[in-house]
Structure 1
Amino acid sequence: MKRLGAWALAAIALAMTEPCSTAAAQDWKALTRADLASAAGLIRDNHPAMVPAIGDKDFVARFDASLAKATARLDKVEDADGMAAVLRGFAAGLGDDHIAWAKSGGGQLKAWPGFVVTRQGQDLLVTITGPGAPPAGAKLVDCDGVPAPALLRQRTADRVPDPDIDAQLTINSIWVVLDDGNPFISRPRTCRFQAEGHMLEHTLAYRPATPADLQRIRDERKFFGHAGFGVRQVGQAWWIAMESLNDSAPAVLDAAKARQAQLRTAPLVVIDLRGNGGGNSLYGDRLAEILLGEAPLKQVRSGGSGRACAPVWRASPDNRKTLDLYAAKFADDADAWRMEAARMDAALAAGQPLTGPVDGCEVVERRAPPPAHPLFAGKLVVVTDVACFSSCPLVVKRLRSLGAIQVGTATNAPTRYMEVRAIDLPSGLGRFTTMQKAAVSSPPMIGPYSPDIAFTGDISDTKALEAWIPSAVR
């Protein structure tokens, strides 16, 4: 399980920058220094990767390098934008999209040039435009002599933990021309576009973003969709929409259970995970069991070879509090959380940094054809987009192992580290997250998962998907 909730889409969210009245201008360096120290301490004292026995030398190296970079930037911090750049950049440098800095109350977009480019496939295309701006569909070639692919990485360097993951680049591609006030990354001045066979040169004229501009950008940046929640029939197919794996998921499972006979005899069942930023991956297992029965699920769970070890928690007083919170919140699993808490209490008493042994643990993955599922004779399809993160790729992985056909666009990819926890930083102006648990027998990264059949249209267009999928998977 990877509990994340709304945090998964925090990097996607846009908000108008509001002036901060809680700190005088001369305090920004000190405030940023204190927040950086707190964020670094959170990771150092609570993240399992910082324990030598875990053996994640790459994470430790990224931590050291990112902290050194952030520290070197401190003397140049003069305002809230500098603070944001330092802390956001420190988080991105750790290489895990779960680890993030978020401004309290939102606040990112400061100015824009009257148009937006977003990543479509491998190209940056104008998707939002207006009078005097490049036309919709124009392809960005370069800005100030920097080719578009390199520019994308430069402009998102303080936002994207892993630029080799397409989903992370796509989600953050709007920041190629949007301005968040980052003083360490120059905004483009003159760009060239290819449109209808012609090369166009455009000088960017930035202006403050109004609430109307912000709303338009939110509405028209269509690189992920919204599945919603529920079970519905579309022609001969059935759709199961599950936009998150949190509190709204059980009602969807109840609806699927009530229609189990119809679902199992349907020629096509579509599980729509668009916009799903994670939650509890066990909901995905329960849905698979409703559709396919217990036997196939048991078979894929038990597959694989090697010495598997149970996940372990980083033993720390603050992580220990999480277990009490979980026991209170998740009543059905309260006994299991209390057992986990007892293991952490024992580790803390013994001065051990982890709640279990990790020596000799091996990565265990099942590599076998999907098992037979005689209770379900139709085709099973799962729809994904770039918002699929945290527990969502775990569900996609499970469904693929059961024979599901993945369609849509590629997912994001979480690491083997689990259980997100956020703290308020000393300034009161932002929050920072850490991971608390390690699935030591999982691969270092889960995904990303690319679709078996890619959808090249507007992934937010539900009607278009409903019309396309039956013929695409025929």
Structure 2
Amino acid sequence: MELTNSQRTLGQKKVEQKVNNTSQNTQVWWRASKDNTDHVVSLLEVVKNQPELLKIVKITAAGMALSLKSGDPFYVEQETYTLNNIPQKPLTSDFKTKVFVIVPPQCASACLDALDKFKLFENTTLFGAPSSADSMYMEVRLADLPSGLGKVIVPNKVYVNRARGAGDFYKPDVAYNDIDWTTNVLLEQIKAL
């Protein structure tokens, strides 16, 4: 499995341990209706050339199908790592270099997940704009209204007990309000701090 930017920068086991400490009660529930299950099954074709994602979608589709068949309204994801794989003694890091994370205003979804991880470490500074926010409801699909006159957005999954609440966003530690967000300009601003 590919490491995330936070794991690459701050250390995989350290990130996993800190994330586990803040999200050990988080669950992901997939609404196992027929239409939602059919939608997730249809994604198998979309991700067929992406082995890691294909594996996840296969597991989710199978879990939703089983929940649907047994009459359970939700398929609840099972964590792929256990607490036994994560050291119980707090890990310390000798990585003391200040980390600047540039946050654009459209930072949402996976970008917010990355900020959740980076902000677990004291040497992280958010630079830029306030992030966007998201809800606990994710992985949406469009469905036609019975009248045929419009569409509705139907969420497929919901986070339960997620540490970051619905509608929460990140404020930058160092705000950047200029129009020019080119790499060289941002690096010069950060170097000047």
**Counterpart in the other structure of 1:292:** 10
Task: Give the TM-score taking structure 2 as reference length.
Answer: 0.75
Q: Give how far 1:377 is off.
A: 4.2
Asked if the contact 1:296–1:402 (Cα under 8 Å) also holds between the matched residues in 2, the reply is no
- Distance in 1, matches of 2:42 and 2:112, equals 25
Q: Is the aligned partner of 1:344 residue 2:67?
A: no
- Distance in 2, matches of 1:331 and 1:467, equals 39
Deviations 1:298-328 (A, max 9, x none): 221221387x253110111121123223434
- Residue aligned with 2:155, SS: strand
- Distance in 2, matches of 1:420 and 1:355, equals 16
- Distance in 1, matches of 2:127 and 2:43, equals 34
Q: Is the aligned partner of 1:448 residue 2:166?
A: no
> What amino acid is aligned across from residue 397 of structure 1 in structure 2?
D
- Distance in 1, matches of 2:91 and 2:43, equals 34
- Distance in 1, matches of 2:44 and 2:54, equals 4
- Distance in 2, matches of 1:305 and 1:316, equals 27
**Counterpart in the other structure of 1:439:** 159
Q: Give how far 1:448 is off.
A: 0.7
Q: Give how far 1:459 is off.
A: 5.0
Q: Is the aligned partner of 1:327 residue 2:44?
A: yes
Q: Give how far 1:455 is off.
A: 1.3
User: Is the alpha carbon distance of 1:356 and 1:463 closer, same or farther for their aligned partners in structure 2, counting shifts above 3 Å?
Assistant: closer
Q: Is the aligned partner of 1:460 residue 2:181?
A: yes
> What amino acid is aligned across from residue 290 of structure 1 in structure 2?
R
- Residue aligned with 1:355, SS: strand
Q: Give how far 1:431 is off.
A: 5.2
- Residue aligned with 1:386, SS: coil
**Counterpart in the other structure of 1:469:** 190
Asked if the contact 1:371–1:402 (Cα under 8 Å) also holds between the matched residues in 2, the reply is no
Q: Give how far 1:451 is off.
A: 0.4
Deviations 1:53-102 (A, max 9, x none): xxxxxxxxxxxxxxxxxxxxxxxxxxxxxxxxxxxxxxxxxxxxxxxxxx
Q: Give how far 1:446 is off.
A: 5.6
Asked if the contact 1:411–1:447 (Cα under 8 Å) also holds between the matched residues in 2, the reply is no
User: Is the alpha carbon distance of 1:455 and 1:335 closer, same or farther for their aligned partners in structure 2, counting shifts above 3 Å?
Assistant: closer
Deviations 1:313-370 (A, max 9, x none): 011112112322343404224333323222212222233221249xxxxxxxxxxxx9
- Residue aligned with 1:352, SS: coil
User: Is the alpha carbon distance of 1:464 and 1:305 closer, same or farther for their aligned partners in structure 2, counting shifts above 3 Å?
Assistant: closer
- Distance in 1, matches of 2:174 and 2:91, equals 21
- Distance in 2, matches of 1:392 and 1:305, equals 17
> What amino acid is aligned across from residue 395 of structure 1 in structure 2?
A
Quick one: which of 24, 29, 50 aligns to 1:312?
29
Q: Structure 2 unaligned runs (5+)? A: 78-89
**Counterpart in the other structure of 1:373:** 93
**Counterpart in the other structure of 1:412:** 132
- Residue aligned with 1:439, SS: strand
- Distance in 1, matches of 2:58 and 2:105, equals 35
- Residue aligned with 1:318, SS: helix
> What amino acid is aligned across from residue 460 of structure 1 in structure 2?
W
**Counterpart in the other structure of 1:398:** 117
Q: Give how far 1:465 is off.
A: 1.6
User: Is the alpha carbon distance of 1:387 and 1:371 closer, same or farther for their aligned partners in structure 2, counting shifts above 3 Å?
Assistant: farther
Greater C-alpha radius of gyration: 1
Task: Please give the root-mean-square deviation of Cα atoms over the aligned residues, in Å.
Answer: 2.9
Deviations 1:434-474 (A, max 9, x none): 221011121441631000111132253443322111122xx
Q: Structure 1 unaligned runs (5+)? A: 1-281, 358-369
- Distance in 2, matches of 1:319 and 1:400, equals 34
